[in-house]
Structure 1
């Protein structure tokens, strides 16, 4: 398994989805279930952090009353992470 901090959002999400599928099937031994569950938790935290970082970079365009662009400002995003 690769180091979680080096994974892109898409890679981490794909691995997390695989973990969920394995746990839902229930064909994993208890010790292995605990191990992959813990990795899943770490992957979730990594995805949350990457998503928050991306959202912080997004800006919205400020418009004047006449509909012309006047600049940008931070996007108003409510984070539930």
Structure 2
């Protein structure tokens, strides 16, 4: 049976966290550290892609001025603040 998408994401995130912890300890031989780094980059890219896909699906329920309910794209909050 195939894993659910959320389970695959969670598993990838756990693997990435373990790699980061290993690399932060700094006791890996150079070649093993480079292999771990490469795997970590791939996992980070995968997780980023899955998060972007989820973000694109998220919509907020809003009420328009006429009192009708509708949807609007989710805003990430990355917009510039007024004092920038």
Which TM-score applies when normalising by structure 2? 0.74
Residue 64 of structure 1, CA deviation: 3.4
How do 1:51-70 residues align onto structure 2 when only pairs under 5 Å count?
51-65=51-65, 68=67, 70=69
Name the counterpart of 1:76. Answer: 75
Give RMSD over aligned pairs: 2.0
SS of 2:27's equivalent in the other structure is coil
Local SS of the residue matching 1:73 = strand
CA displacement 1:15-53 (0-9 Å, x = unmatched): 011001101111211100000000000100000000000
CA distance in 1 between partners of 2:27 and 2:43 (Å): 21
Q: Partner residue of 1:16?
A: 16
The alignment's TM-score, normalised by the length of structure 1, stands at 0.77
Q: In 2, distance between residues paired with 1:73 and 1:64? A: 10
Distance 1:45 1:33 in 2: 18
| Structure 1 gaps, min length 5 | 1-6
